[in-house]
Amino acid sequence: MPIPAQRDLETTRTALRDWIAPKLAESSGSAVTDVEISQLDAPGGSGFSNETFLADITWTADGREMSDSVVVRIEPSGYRVFMEADFALQYRMLDTLDKQTDVTVPHMLWFEDDPSVLGARFFLMRKVRGSAPADVPSYNDAGFLFDSTPEVRHQLWENAIDAMIAVHKVPLETVKFLDKPELGATGFDQIFEYWRQSYEWAARGKPQPVADAAWAWLNANMPTHRPTALSWGDARLGNILFDGVEVTAVVDWEMLSLGGPSMDLGWWIFLMDYQEMGRDHLEGLGSEEETVARWEAATGQQVHDLHWYKVFAGFRFAIVMMRIIQMYDEWGVIPQGGESDPETDNPVTRLLAQLLGIDPFPG
């Protein structure tokens, strides 16, 4: 479920048209006239953390008719799912990946720091062809991945893992600007501290039995190796665009950090298990063991403490679910009077409890 419509599309279209005209003139080095935004849509399932719009633009430059399709991402100005998701840092990260690495991301166009244009900061990137496996309904139940042959699914899965591996091969010096030393000495320590603060912020002092148990377990079983290396953050099939089996873009970087590759491997596997809850595994998609083996073969590194990273992934996802359930409650869309509290009892907390080997309904 995406965030609800928060703005008038016609007003947004006009403001965006007036803003983009001088940008087009500057980038082309020629006079630009007849700028029009012929289509401005908010796609279904565009996510919780940002407003996202698709725009088709036409204009005339030196007597030639031109066109382009872009994606507009607008910083949330109301409800926040994440305690802190540095919007400008996301743009800088994507722009860096686009210009300096082999990671497949959309081409970044412009960032607007002045919130008066659309009511919040925003950036534009070029729209890329392709579709992502859906979360709702799950790609395990319907959609192009479900309808594909096992052979096609396997090739798509291999390409997806390779796209994640490309993220992990980005040199640290290229993304050193992500360093947040005020949160810890290493990237691992920094992201761990960020989620400690996020947990306190999201829980609001309310007991969270499964998440509390996970937090205690994580601290009692802390890995000895604490890396500083790029982590995509929200690494999953649903955040990769495909044209056939080819990867056309790795998207959604709100959870980026220098926490290291195992953060992504743990998240990838936990989210894969989450999508498969109560469902059969789609033949052709790689297992946990195959995922680790392909990653190790490509990087020449060994994966350590994977169970810890899977638990940490479940803990982080549980915090995100807290905020989503609170958001639903704020909007009045959760039926009241149910037998359980969806903030503490949901598919994420149940899977996390299973990983920990504890009762998901303590007490």
pLDDT per residue as tens digits for the range 114-136: 999 999 999 999 999 999 999 88
- Phi, psi (5° rounding) for residue 138? -60, 145
Looking at residue 46, its pLDDT comes to: 41
Looking at residue 29, its pLDDT comes to: 83
Looking at residue 44, its pLDDT comes to: 57
Looking at residue 45, its pLDDT comes to: 46
CATH number of the domain located at residue range(s) 144-356 in this protein: 3.90.1200.10
Residue 74 has pLDDT above 80, yes or no: yes
Mean pLDDT of 160-185: 98
Contact (Cβ atoms closer than 8 angstroms) between residue 17 and residue 35: yes
Give the domain ranges of the chain.
Answer: 9-126, 144-356
Which is nearest to 182 in space by CA: 193, 171, 173? 193
Residue 227 has pLDDT above 50, yes or no: yes
Beta-bridge mates of residue 139: none
The CA distance from 267 to 115, in Å, is: 33
Q: How confident is the model at residue 181 (pLDDT cuts 50, 70, 90)?
A: very high
Looking at residue 1, its pLDDT comes to: 40
| Residue, of 49 and 343, whose pLDDT is higher | 343
Residue 178 has pLDDT above 60, yes or no: yes
- pTM check: above 0.85: yes
The CA distance from 272 to 342, in Å, is: 21
31: enclosing H helix or E strand: none
Mean pLDDT of 162-172: 98
Contact (Cβ atoms closer than 8 angstroms) between residue 127 and residue 105: no
Residue 283: C-alpha distances to residues 5, 145, 153, 280 (Å):
38, 10, 8, 9
Looking at residue 111, its pLDDT comes to: 97
Residue 348, SS3 per DSSP: helix
**C-alpha dihedral (330, 319, 192, 208), degrees to nearest 10:** 110
Mean pLDDT of 297-321: 97
Q: How confident is the model at residue 80 (pLDDT cuts 50, 70, 90)?
A: confident
Contact (Cβ atoms closer than 8 angstroms) between residue 129 and residue 248: yes
Residues above pLDDT 70, as percent of the chain: 94
Contact (Cβ atoms closer than 8 angstroms) between residue 194 and residue 257: yes
Looking at residue 2, its pLDDT comes to: 45
Mean pLDDT of 174-198: 98
Mean pLDDT estimate for the chain: 92
The third-level CATH classification (topology) of the domain covering 9-126 is Phosphorylase Kinase; domain 1 (3.30.200)
Mean pLDDT of 284-295: 97
> Around Cβ 9, how many Cβ atoms within 10 Å?
12
Residue 314 has pLDDT above 90, yes or no: yes
Looking at residue 6, its pLDDT comes to: 58
Beta-bridge mates of residue 240: 250
